[in-house]
Amino acid sequence: VIDLVQMKAIVWNNETMGAKYDVEEIPSDLLEKAKQYREKLVEAVAEQDEALMEKYLGGEELSVEEIKKGIKTGCLNMSLVPMLCGSSFKNKGVQTLLDAVIDYLPAPTEVVDIKGIDPKTEEEVFVKSSDDGEFAGLAFKIMTDPFVGQLTFVRVYR
């Protein structure tokens, strides 16, 4: 897998069932294609922030941190969607996916208020994701497991 942000190749170790991986230089036969796609990524990132756009249009190279910041900004305003590769079956890409969640997706306190229904009054309310206040959550899936019984998956807002 080619990491276009870092411009490195990620190679998973088959002997460790994907638990370990090496970060290497991009193979020469893939380098030109990686540069083309990185340029598209940097252009999309630069569109997320005026300062990044000025730097990009001025011919300056964006740093890895600036690219990550731009991707996160694009995720927050829903104009960019990061694409990652991997296989949970072979445990390849799981670590890099979790790193991307931390780097690019909003923290619970950075999301917009969630619309819901107050169960006591049945009125529409907006819930801010925070550590303060009464419990607020959304049961988004209910299933029955033959070994455990009924399971309810809940997204906790506070």
Give the pLDDT confidence score for residue 20 in this predicted structure: 87
Q: How far apart are CA 139 and CA 68, in angstroms?
A: 32
Nearest to 2 by CA among 84, 75, 59, 60: 84
Identify whether residues 120 and 90 lie together within a single domain: no
| Residues 108-150 pLDDT 10s | 778 778 888 888 999 999 988 777 878 888 899 999 999 999 9
Average pLDDT rounded to a whole number, residues 45-53: 95
Average pLDDT rounded to a whole number, residues 57-66: 96
Identify whether residues 149 and 72 lie together within a single domain: no
Q: How many structural domains compose the chain?
A: 2
In the predicted structure, residue 86 carries a pLDDT above the cut 90: no
In the predicted structure, residue 51 carries a pLDDT above the cut 90: yes
- pTM for the whole thing? 0.75
| Amino acid at residue number 52 | L
Average pLDDT rounded to a whole number, residues 30-49: 97
Identify whether residues 62 and 124 lie together within a single domain: no
CB 115 within 8 A of CB 126: yes
Identify whether residues 46 and 84 lie together within a single domain: yes
Give the pLDDT confidence score for residue 114 in this predicted structure: 84
Identify whether residues 42 and 61 lie together within a single domain: yes
* Host domain of residue 143: 109-156
Instruction: List b or e across 129-154, with b for residues whose CB sees 16 or more CB atoms inside 10 angstroms.
Output: beeeeeebeeeeeeeeeeeeeeeeee
CB 133 within 8 A of CB 114: no
Give the pLDDT confidence score for residue 17 in this predicted structure: 79
Residue 66 token pair: 């600036």
Identify whether residues 62 and 134 lie together within a single domain: no
Identify whether residues 72 and 121 lie together within a single domain: no
Identify whether residues 54 and 82 lie together within a single domain: yes
Identify whether residues 68 and 140 lie together within a single domain: no
